[in-house]
Structure 1
């Protein structure tokens, strides 16, 4: 709940930037500037590892709004959900440290869209996350890619997804919601 105020602020800022003509192409890198707050810290006095994922959501909001995808999705009753993500940490963020979150759509496979987010300080990467997301309908079901791209256009210049990301997506997938997924430890 304590990230809700940041979320609302980022949405307001992104809408304001878009109105001023600071829109983004779907393949562009979006950037937002944040500061490590006391509520972001863990007992070791650096950014809590779970907080990174919440703050990467802010980068997604900025990117979706400034590319125009959010309005197109809302108009059609679509929304995106994260189906899997993997994060790698390199350096810690300390209290009151300023940093950028860089966000970019990096491609798609037959069922999902992929994004990458980075925490960057003075041009140096501190953390990175790869996100796999699915597009769903508020009325139920998924939005097929052919319908998504027919509506929004297929962005040019999206790089191919690295082979390890395809392997990660397959290896980390859980059974579909229509199949059982018992919790059995081996």
Structure 2
């Protein structure tokens, strides 16, 4: 539940920053400051590996609010879902350690939007995640890129997704929800 309270807090703080500083460009790197709390650590006394993904969500909300994308999503009755993510750990975050979550939009392909989040301490990367998200309509269906860019404009200077990100997206994909996906283990 504490991540829910943190989410509401950072959503509020992002809105306040927009009022004070204005919106940021879609290609901007946004930063929020966090502290590793007792509820974030595991038995080894460092941040639990699953908690990173929850805290990176805070960075994603900050990015969506500060670019104005959350307003468009609310107006259009859209929402985003994470369809895949991969995380790489380099160093552990310890109890009470302050760190920044840096977030940026990497780009898009024909079906998804890609973002990167980093846990950074004093300019040094501790962990990094690549996120693949799809935009969905509350009434059902997927938001096409044509609909998305008609609503928000196509961001300038967004590079093509790196080949390895496309390969990862294909390799990690599960079957569509309209296809069977039996849990069968192979030897």
TM-score range, shorter chain: over 0.9
Is 2:163 the counterpart of 1:129? no
Deviations 1:97-116 (A, max 9, x none): 00000000001111000000
SS across alignment from 1:147: helix
1:23 Cα deviation (Å)?
A: 2.1
1:167 Cα deviation (Å)?
A: 0.3
When structure 1 is superposed on structure 2, of 15-24 and 91-100 the one drifting more is 15-24
Q: Within 2, Cα distance between the matches of 1:137 and 1:9?
A: 26
Q: Within 2, Cα distance between the matches of 1:36 and 1:157?
A: 34
Is 2:172 the counterpart of 1:172? yes
Alignment of 1:1-186 (within 5 A): 1-186=1-186
When structure 1 is superposed on structure 2, of 75-84 and 156-165 the one drifting more is 156-165
Q: Within 2, Cα distance between the matches of 1:45 and 1:56?
A: 20
1:123 Cα deviation (Å)?
A: 0.3
1:22 Cα deviation (Å)?
A: 4.0
Deviations 1:46-96 (A, max 9, x none): 000000000000000100001000001100000000000000000000011
Gaps of 5+ in 1: none
Q: Within 1, Cα distance between the matches of 2:38 and 2:111?
A: 39
Deviations 1:17-39 (A, max 9, x none): 00112421111001000000000
Matched length: 186
1:45 Cα deviation (Å)?
A: 0.0
Q: Within 2, Cα distance between the matches of 1:22 and 1:114?
A: 24
For the aligned residue pairs, the C-alpha RMSD in angstroms reads 0.7
- TM-score, normalisation: structure 2: 0.98
